[in-house]
């Protein structure tokens, strides 16, 4: 069974940084793309970005709203995906979900339970 | 403003069939498959339909997806109270090089 468990969320001041993690189990981590989707309170889903498997170059794509501020990385030896968030703004406040993809167009198939990041003075 | 357009709300009664639409463009739905997710309030989203019309194991066959041109639809037949949730469509957008979601449709079972 695919399991994705996020950790590292919390309260952070505007302008500061935060790194959240996603620990995966139940599948061969290195074979799949991993990503992040966020949901601001009372709002819809917003894709943040993803990282392809190393077999596909380990390249990344990001939403325009976070490009240049957020970085997604992966440690296949530990089955962990990371989301490094810099220069955080109040409108980055959201539940951040870790996601796993599949092959081809299957960017988002599985979801974690989410971790709340609150950006506030 | 979401790249994919969904109606904000939909309504149905138990046993009824409802459909939720998702409109996009040639750079997303027009050239790539569509995915649907269900989010029960207070929980994480769950994949409902992938690659336009495929159901993951465990998803009842009451749920079906279709696509035509730059639009897609999710149909739910034999509506049940537990289907009350938010539904989101999504697809890859070649122009944005990004995964894009619809704004979501809140389904109420009356």
pLDDT tens-place string over residues A9-53? 999 999 999 999 999 999 999 999 999 999 999 999 999 999 999
Name the minimum distance, in Å, from the CA of B56 to any CA of chain A.
9
CB contact under 8 A, B47 and A110: yes
Q: Please report where in the chains the tokens 């149909």 appear, as a residue.
A: B75
- Report d(CA A98, CA A117) in Å as an integer: 13
Going A53 to A62 to A84 to A99, the CA torsion angle's sign is: negative
Is residue B99 classed exposed, middle or buried when 0-12, 13-18 and 19+ CB atoms within 10 A define those classes?
Answer: buried
- Report d(CA B105, CA A45) in Å as an integer: 11
Q: Which residues of chain B have pLDDT under 50?
A: none
Residues A45-59: tens digit of each pLDDT: 999 999 999 999 999
For position A44, what pLDDT does the model report? Answer: 97
Question: Measured between beta carbons, which residues in chain B are less than 8 angstroms from residue A48?
Answer: none
Question: Measured between beta carbons, which residues in chain B are less than 8 angstroms from residue A112?
Answer: 44
Nearest residue of B to residue A114, measured between CA atoms:
B44
Please tell me if residue A97 touches chain B, with a CB cutoff of 8 Å.
Answer: yes
Please tell me if residue A113 touches chain B, with a CB cutoff of 8 Å.
Answer: yes
Residues B43-56: tens digit of each pLDDT: 999 999 999 999 99
For position A104, what pLDDT does the model report? Answer: 82
CB contact under 8 A, A47 and B92: no
Q: Please report where in the chains the tokens 């296949």 appear, as a residue.
A: A76
């Amino acid at each position: 069974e695919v399991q994705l468990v996020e950790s590292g969320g919390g309260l952070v001041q505007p302008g500061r940084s935060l790194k959240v993690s996603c620990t995966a189990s139940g599948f061969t981590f290195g074979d799949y793309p991993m990503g992040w989707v966020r949901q601001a309170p009372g709002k819809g889903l917003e894709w943040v970005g993803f990282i392809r498997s190393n077999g596909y170059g380990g390249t990344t794509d990001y939403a325009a709203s976070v490009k240049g501020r957020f970085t997604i990385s992966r440690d296949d030896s530990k089955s962990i995906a990371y989301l490094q968030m810099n220069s955080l703004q109040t409108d980055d406040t959201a539940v951040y979900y870790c996601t796993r993809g599949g092959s081809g167009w299957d960017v988002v198939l599985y979801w974690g339970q989410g971790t709340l990041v609150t950006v506030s003075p | 403003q979401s790249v994919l357009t969904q109606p904000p709300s939909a309504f149905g009664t138990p046993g009824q069939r409802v459909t939720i639409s998702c409109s996009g463009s040639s750079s997303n739905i027009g050239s790539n498959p569509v995915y649907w997710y269900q989010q029960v309030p207070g929980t994480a989203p769950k994949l409902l339909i992938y690659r336009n019309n495929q159901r993951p194991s465990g998803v009842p066959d009451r749920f079906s997806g279709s696509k035509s041109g730059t639009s897609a639809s999710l149909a739910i037949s034999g509506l049940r109270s537990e289907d009350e949730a938010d539904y989101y469509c999504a697809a890859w957008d070649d122009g944005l090089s990004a995964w894009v979601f619809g704004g979501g449709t809140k389904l109420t079972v009356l």
